[in-house]
Amino acid sequence: MMKTMSGPEEAQLIHKQRGKQQQQRSSVRTGRGTGLSGMKIYFCGSIRGGRDDVTLYRRIVEKLQSYGTVLTEHVSSTNLTDRGEDASAAGDKLIHDRDVEWLQQSDVVVAEVTQPSLGVGYELGRVVLMKKKTLCLFRPSSGRTLSAMIRGADDGEQFVVRDYSEDEVENILEEFFNTLKRT
């Protein structure tokens, strides 16, 4: 009988497996010559704010994995619901502390900000203070308007907001990471 994992257990398993997967990928990856394979990437996407974009998150994370280790790969898991990893207060504290630690460890942050999320907004506020290179992706076709607190933080260099359509996402990520390679 197969055991069903809780959100935190699944996140821990993903985190442990990530190192092995990264080693396997780097040995077979062509990488398009990016030279960024050791990079630690923090991906932000809505969890408790809504999971409507989870399949898009999966595409983004798969592309990000060609540039390095995605510390928050679990955000793209279809097994993660809008209830999050664990609804208990103790679980919330562990999630917060773990994610802030991952933010601190990360070299770069990529956030899909179309689905409004208090957690993603909080993460982005923290990364601005940490002076992390950040790319925010927003789809105007959603009919939503991006918060002025996100769009207004765009400085064109350290914190960048890009409007995009789904068919452009891989190319936008490639442009962003190619820019990192040059700096």
- The reply to whether 44 sits in an annotated binding site is yes
Stretches in the chain below the pLDDT threshold 50 = 1-5, 13-35
> Is residue 123, in this structure, part of any structural domain at all?
yes
Tokens of 96: 């917060």
pTM of the predicted model, to two decimals? 0.80
Torsion sign, CA atoms 102, 153, 56, 118: positive
Half-sphere exposure of 9 (CA within 13 A, CB side): 4
Tell whether residue 126 is among the known ligand binding residues.
Answer: no
- Give the domain range for residue 40: 7-20+36-182
* pLDDT tens per residue across span 129-145: 999 999 999 999 999 99
Task: Tell whether 52 is covered by a domain.
Answer: yes
Question: Is 175 annotated to bind ligand?
Answer: no
- pLDDT tens track for 58-73: 999 999 999 999 999 9
How many separate domains does the chain show?
Answer: 1
Instruction: Establish if 25 belongs to a structural domain.
Output: no
- Residue 97's CATH number: 3.40.50.450
